[in-house]
Copies of this chain bind each other. A is one copy, B any other.
Amino acid sequence: MIFGSDNMAGASPAVLQAIVQANAGEQPSYGADVWCEQAEQQISQVFQAPARVFFVSTGTVANSLALSALTPPWGGVLCQRDAHVLADESSAPEFFSGGARLLGLDPVNGKVAPESISRALASAGHPPHNVVPRALSITQANELGLVYTPEEVHELASLAHRHGLKVHMDGARFANALASLGCHPADITWRAGVDVLCLGASKNGALMAEAIVFFDPSLAQDFAYRLKRAGQMAAKARFFGAQFCAWLHDDHWLALARQANDVAGQLGVALQALPGTRLVWPVQANEVFAVMPARLAQVLRSQGAVFYDWPEHALPAHEALQHEEKLVRFVTSFASTCEQVDDLVAAARCS
């Protein structure tokens, strides 16, 4: 009953096998190996676009480095107020960008909305005295477990582009969103106006591998320097390449994501049936947010369930915790199973 985070699982057997395979023999270092080359090709094929790809070790590095290519140090980055880049990555975005500022937007129905962007742009003030937005960052699937449709991405990206903003997508759970939407990966990225995607594999079956995917190659012009300077030009980069090769091969990434999403869906249904428990947002990917009695949360944990309390301020404006209630988050991974949901339901009965 480990629902703390999808980063608590290891790698899928197929991904692990690729690491073992790639380990054999000598390879040129710093990303010039055959695995990185093949992984870049696979990504271009999957997205049906000639992407420039850079591999890094964590999602924080991926997001921060990517954003640093989209905004000068005096620019701003619009994002949801509870976006991972703003709320959970320390001041890494400021560090990598040389001091750019993240500008948090209040969500509308759990997501970045065009009207929030417009309002932020309208109040940006007088350059150079004020920080002017230069980029928009959206998370797919987002931090509240919600998924942007192709139309939504397109609308947000178009608005951003009209005002000269570049568009970044934090895709730490991109595969989960894609599996949920059932669309083509291009439909929610470059075709919808995304300039750079941080494609995260670590949370969905890889051990440690993130890809920064530039659909607009002009933005990647000096990126190798950024990568090196950030200490992300790994000597044995083959390890990154190999993970992506296996992950993308034969839609393995989608199979992994579907498993996580399916269990999340069942978990949502199960949670809603628990006494005094309600879901805050619909379950669209692999995260479930529920309000439940504090007592119930305690019981579940005493039975071995792992999940996090979530800050009340993440709730929609019209909702509030009642007396003795808690907001909690459950996350499923490729390693989650229906049995774990059953166990959770059984655990709830102990209360």
Contact = CB atoms under 8 A, between A and B. Distances in A.
A320 to B, nearest CB: 15
Contacts of A228: 60, 74, 89-90, 92, 128-129
B203 A235 contact: yes
A88 B226 contact: no
Interface string A182-226: 000000000000000000001100011000000000000010111
Most chain B CB neighbours (cut-off 10 Å) among A10, A65, A203, A335:
A10
A317 interface: no
Interface string A4-23: 11011111000010011011
A166 B221 CA distance: 19
A128 B225 contact: yes
Nearest to A61: B231
A128 to B, nearest CB: 4
A80 B57 CA distance: 30
Most chain B CB neighbours (cut-off 10 Å) among A20, A29, A73:
A73
Interface in A25-78: 25-30, 56-62, 64-65, 72-75
A123 interface: yes
Interface of A: 2, 4-5, 7-11, 16, 19-20, 22-30, 56-62, 64-65, 72-75, 87-92, 94-96, 98-102, 123, 125, 127-131, 202-203, 207-208, 222, 224-236, 238-239, 311, 313, 335
A272 to B, nearest CB: 25
When all copies of this chain in the complex are counted, the total is 4
Contacts of A131: 90-91
A125 B311 contact: yes
Given A73-B94, A91-B100, A128-B229, 5 more contacts: A9-B26, A61-B232, A90-B129, A94-B94, A94-B100
A130 B58 contact: no
List the 10 shortest-distance A-B pairs measured between CB atoms, nearest first.
Answer: A61-B231, A94-B99, A7-B235, A60-B231, A10-B23, A128-B228, A74-B225, A57-B57, A128-B225, A90-B228
Given A26-B335, A90-B74, A95-B73, A232 B127 contact: no
